[in-house]
């Protein structure tokens, strides 16, 4: 059994700006009937601003006795925004059967956390309830009784009907929801074409500073610098996107422009065509070849 990966926004799907992560349902990928529709988000109120250190994968031992109610044990306390219903969380995890400690899934082997929105039924009840109140950097053990997991049905694989489940989760980021009203108030016409990548910090964050190798959770706006036309943005869709800050994972101007940015900040990155979409352009977004671009980034989380 593994957590089903879902697709993030269009810009992620076409592989233009980012290496993309996905939302998830606690359901095996061998059983499409267990999939849940993509979740929507609520307005953006604040962002987590914290330094999140990567850690080794935690060991998960079975509990001494099977849980009859949800048991929450914080191994490490995080900082920043406290997760509430409607927030999107990014989580690494290992899951085992509580009865014998047999592992059925983990996110570490796949190399990226999963993301989902709390309180929407996108995950089992034990997660929806058990991750409430967590912060970025929290490491939390969840011992979940069967009625808050899969009950008397088996999702397949290792998990059997009536199984209690134990997870250790690492919360990488807690991101409040967004709407169209949260789009930064910026006039793309104020950013004409440039000959080299140029950065303008509209808001300076006070959280984790992005370095090469980090994962950046962002909202983005894409505009043409030659016409000032906005071609795409993620705030109104309510779903941030994950950008791996590794050379070759995103367009060169975005890779360069993200380095040194801090969580909580909003940055306008002007880039010539060769640092943007080059000689191919983006037909799906009606961006012609050799077009200089403006990309506005809100950094809402990082790990």
Confidence of residue 58 (pLDDT cuts 50, 70, 90): confident
DSSP string, 85-125: TT-EEEEEEEEEETTT--EEEESGGGTS-EEEETTTTSS-H
What is the rounded CA–CA span in Å between residue 80 and residue 104?
A: 31
Q: 23 pLDDT exceeds 70?
A: no
277-301 per-position pLDDT tens digit: 999 999 988 899 999 999 999 999 9
3-state class of 256 per DSSP? helix
| Statement: residue 8 has pLDDT above 60 | no
CA distance 246 to 249: 6
Q: What is the pLDDT of residues 127-163, one digit of tens each?
A: 999 999 999 999 999 999 999 999 999 888 899 999 9
**pLDDT tens across 160-204, in order?**
999 999 999 999 999 999 999 999 999 999 999 999 999 999 999
Could you give all domains of the chain from N- to C-terminal order, each with its CATH number? Answer: 4-175 (3.10.50.40), 180-302 (3.10.50.40)
pLDDT over 90 (residue 54): no
For 76, phi then psi, to 5°, come to: -145, 145
Structure confidence by residue, pLDDT tens digits, 113-128: 999 999 999 999 999 9
48 in Cβ contact with 38 (< 8 Å): no
């Amino acid at each position: 059994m593994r957590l089903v990966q879902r697709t993030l926004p269009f810009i992620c799907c076409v592989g233009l700006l980012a290496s993309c992560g996905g939302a998830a349902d606690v359901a095996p990928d061998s059983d499409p009937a267990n999939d849940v529709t993509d979740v929507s988000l609520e307005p953006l109120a604040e962002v987590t601003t914290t330094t999140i250190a990567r850690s080794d994968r935690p060991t998960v031992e079975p509990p001494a006795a099977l849980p009859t109610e949800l048991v929450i044990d914080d191994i490490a306390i995080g900082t920043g925004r406290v997760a509430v219903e409607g927030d999107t969380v990014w989580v690494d995890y290992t899951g085992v059967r509580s009865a014998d400690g047999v592992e059925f899934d983990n996110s570490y082997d796949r190399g990226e956390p999963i993301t989902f929105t709390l309180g929407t039924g996108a995950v089992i009840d034990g997660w929806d309830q058990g991750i409430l109140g967590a912060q970025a950097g929290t490491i939390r053990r969840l011992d979940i009784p069967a009625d808050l997991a899969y009950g008397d049905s088996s999702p397949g694989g290792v998990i059997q009907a009536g199984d209690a489940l134990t997870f250790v989760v690492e919360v990488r980021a807690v991101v409040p929801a967004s709407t169209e009203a949260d789009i930064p108030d910026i006039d793309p016409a104020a950013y004409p074409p440039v000959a080299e990548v140029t950065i303008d910090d509209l808001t300076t964050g006070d959280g984790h500073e992005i370095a090469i190798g980090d994962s950046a959770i962002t909202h983005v706006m894409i505009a043409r610098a030659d016409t000032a036309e906005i071609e795409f943005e993620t705030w109104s869709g309510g779903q941030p996107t994950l950008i791996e800050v590794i050379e070759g994972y995103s367009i060169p101007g975005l890779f360069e422009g993200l380095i040194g940015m801090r969580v909580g900040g909003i940055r306008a990155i002007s880039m010539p065509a060769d640092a943007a979409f080059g000689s191919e352009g983006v037909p799906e977004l009606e961006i012609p070849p050799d077009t200089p671009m403006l990309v506005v980034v809100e950094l809402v989380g990082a790990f």
